[in-house]
Amino acid sequence: MKRNRPAVRETRGLDLIRFHRIGSATPPIFFRNLLKNFRGFRPSRLILLSLSASALLMAVLGGCSHGHGGGTGYRQMKVSRDDIQLTVLATGNVQPNNELAVYPAIACRIEKIRIKEGDTVKKGETLMDLSSTERATVLDEAAAEGTSQLAYWQQIYEETPLISPENGQVIYLPTVPGQVCSTGTTMMVMSDHLMVNTQVDETDLAQIKLGEAATITLDAYPDKPFPAVVHRISYFSTLVNNVTTYEVDVWPEPVPTFMRTGMTSNVVFNVSTREDVLTVPSSALQQQDNQTGVFVPGDNGKPKFQPIQTGVTDGKRVEVVSGLNEGDAILIKSFSAGQYNHQQAGSNPLMPGAPGGGNRGSGGGGGGGYGH
């Protein structure tokens, strides 16, 4: 028995585009009706309906975005005076300026450690009390004979002190009392001054001077920046990822108690400061006919290109040398996601294009208005 197929009119893409004009509440009802009639469809009709449904969904989304976007917009702001601080950024690691490993002069046993890791010591200060191999043997035999014998030999046979060779800080202490050591055993490691060793690109090196102020921020303590100065600029270059760099050592004064060898650091070199200069946001700059400028409010509310001469920049703000005055209004382009979707619709074969398209003026400023 021949089975009757449901009578459904083939849906054209144009019908769907027109259909979406009815209102935003219609498409869900339309899709439910389509799903009810999927059974019994030939594959070719299913493909057609699938493509048409996709076109409808994108048309609805594109239409909604277009309704909210309206076109390229501008926000208005005033030219103002401010300070611009020029900086150079670099990363590095905390290292000792001079690292000194301390070894015993004799084979020995550690009797007492007088310091702890992190302590600051003076040159000539006693760091440990050591017993030579012979003294350690005598004391062990005396201890077996009794307390009086041990006390006698401890007084007769004096300990050998381990003396600090320099002023500095104990940054590594791997030994413990009772440990037997040879002349090759590292008793401790000292540092005279912790600093940050950075790699600076050769293009920035000319801006950095000895004694220049800098700010160090440790990754471990991002909320505790502290001041420092440039102590050394290397004469020897290093090639890192095909970029020529130079070592620059930065000294904190004083060294924070939480600073540790090996910590990753971010260093900001304060190159120079331009005080009380006219500034505009970097995002306001435009290029037209090989000229740098900004958009300003023109006649009939249309943006007008105003050439300017710029000075220094910190990446966010730009100094205005000429072409604008304090308090002048400028326009900064602002885009919304809806405007972007509408601009891209014409290049999508499944998206309906706006009647007549749109003209984009030179420098991207055509067709827009500005806020107040």
pLDDT value of residue 72: 55
Identify the CA nearest to 227 among candidates 196, 193, 251, 258. 251
Separation CA 100–CA 167 (nearest Å): 11
Task: Report which residue type is found at 231.
Answer: H
Separation CA 42–CA 53 (nearest Å): 16
Specify the pTM.
0.55
- Quickly count: other Cβ atoms within 10 Å of residue 14's Cβ: 11
pLDDT tens track, the chain, 372 positions: 444 544 444 444 444 434 444 444 444 554 455 445 544 444 444 444 444 445 444 544 444 444 333 345 888 899 999 988 888 999 999 999 889 999 999 999 999 999 999 899 999 999 999 999 999 999 999 998 888 888 889 888 989 999 999 999 999 999 999 999 999 999 999 998 899 999 999 999 999 999 999 999 999 999 999 999 999 999 999 998 899 999 999 999 888 989 999 999 999 998 888 888 999 999 999 999 999 999 999 888 789 999 999 988 888 889 999 999 999 999 998 765 444 444 444 444 444 444 434 433 333 333 344 333
Spell out the SS3 assignment of 188-212.
EEEECCEEEEEEEEHHHHCCCCCCC
- Helices (DSSP H) in the chain: which residue ranges? 13-19, 26-36, 43-69, 133-145, 147-156, 202-205, 337-345
pLDDT value of residue 364: 39
- Quickly count: other Cβ atoms within 10 Å of residue 76's Cβ: 14
In sequence order, what are the residues at sequence separation of 6 or more whose Cβ sits closer than 8 angstroms to the Cβ of residue 245?
199, 200, 201, 202, 237, 238, 239
Q: Distance between alpha carbon 77 and the CA centroid of its chain, in Å?
A: 28
